[in-house]
Amino acid sequence: MGFLKKISDETRALVRFLGMEKKYSIREIAKKAKVSKSTVARYLKTPNETRQKYRKGANMGRPKTLSVRDVRHLKRSITKLRKVNPNFTLKELIRFSGLQSSGASYSTFYREINSAGFKYLNARKKGLLNHRDCRKRYKFGQKCRKILKIQPNLFHSSISFYLDGVSFVFKRQPMQDAAAPKGKIWWTRSEGLRLTSKGSKDLPGGKRLHFLVAIAFNRGVVLAKEYEHMSGEYFSGFVKRNLSTLFTAENQQKWFVMDNDPSQRSKVAKKAINDSDATLFEIPARSPDLNPIENLFHIVKKQRESQAISECIYQETWPEFKARVRKTILKISPTYINNLLLSIPKRIDDVIKCKGFRTKY
């Protein structure tokens, strides 16, 4: 084991004089002062009388580009921006927080956000299925398969129409919203079951436009009615005013399909349906893959986004937004809707094959 020989003050002063004033080389200084070259290099590079002592811990490494206040402001910006739109990128977050002039790199922002618990992960689109839901879906598929052997045209001839509600989020800048990523959002591990990108009423997004839409075979979209708030009283009045007009003379059984929304399945709503001599063909809860009108809503959303990009719609008012959504819904061709309804038997076979678990639709 080596040891450090104590250097006198005269030798230390001579080394620095020859190096800083005379500009001698390290080899020449070591020869004149009779010390090693490493000792000469150490004293020439150290400005103080002794070696500089570095504190280990938080102050090690290069200086931080983001202060503690900047990190707190960045976390608050995530919470504020999610109330406007959950689908935002890191670049939009930095611009919203006003920290683009801090000089920090993108990896620094990612590291600070991840240390706060936020991850840029895939959004949960629908509610989770438990084993009870899977059993119900599997039994429903087996029941429908038996009925289809007797009535092959059940889902496009016997059932009069398919009814469901849909909501569209109003954005003043449609083009920016259409170009934003939709598959991922910033969320923490504890928010996995609460924050979804679809199907959640407390989802951030802003003002919403609600529609009740009905589709039928060979008739296309037969109803697109706007509403403010869905409740049992409102849906009961809707059934009394509109349900009789949706049936045709060919519909002898008066069957229709509707999802399991609580307000649409209340006692008041059920009484109104029974009074109209109509029969609800029930599908299991949390089964959008068995309801073809869900595909229609997805197509409407995609067409709105592509229209905003192709027509460069940078700004849009609320009346313009409502008119564009209604026009897009009514513009869906009956041929596309017919193909959706004809695909229901295949969807049922897929559900049975997957033992009731959710399928791609």
> DSSP assignment of 334-360, as one string?
HHHHHHHHHTHHHHHHHHHHTTT----
Question: What are 22-46's pLDDT values in tens digits?
Answer: 889 989 999 888 898 888 888 887 6
Question: What are 74-133's pLDDT values in tens digits?
Answer: 888 888 887 776 677 888 888 888 888 778 888 898 888 888 888 777 666 666 677 888
Identify the burial level of 207 via C-beta atoms within 10 angstroms of its C-beta, where 0-12 means exposed, 13-18 middle and 19 or more buried. Answer: exposed
Phi, psi dihedrals of residue 75, rounded to the nearest 5° = -65, -40
Going by CATH, does the domain composed of 131-185+206-354 fall within 3.30.420.10?
yes
Mean pLDDT of 273-296: 83
Measured CA to CA, the distance from residue 66 to residue 108 in angstroms comes to 8
Phi, psi dihedrals of residue 215, rounded to the nearest 5° = -125, 155
Please tell me which residue, 332 or 123, carries the higher pLDDT value. 332
This prediction's pTM: 0.62
Domain definitions of the chain by residue range? 9-57, 68-116, 131-185+206-354
In 77-204, at which residue ranges do the beta strands (DSSP E only) sit? Answer: 119-122, 159-169, 184-187
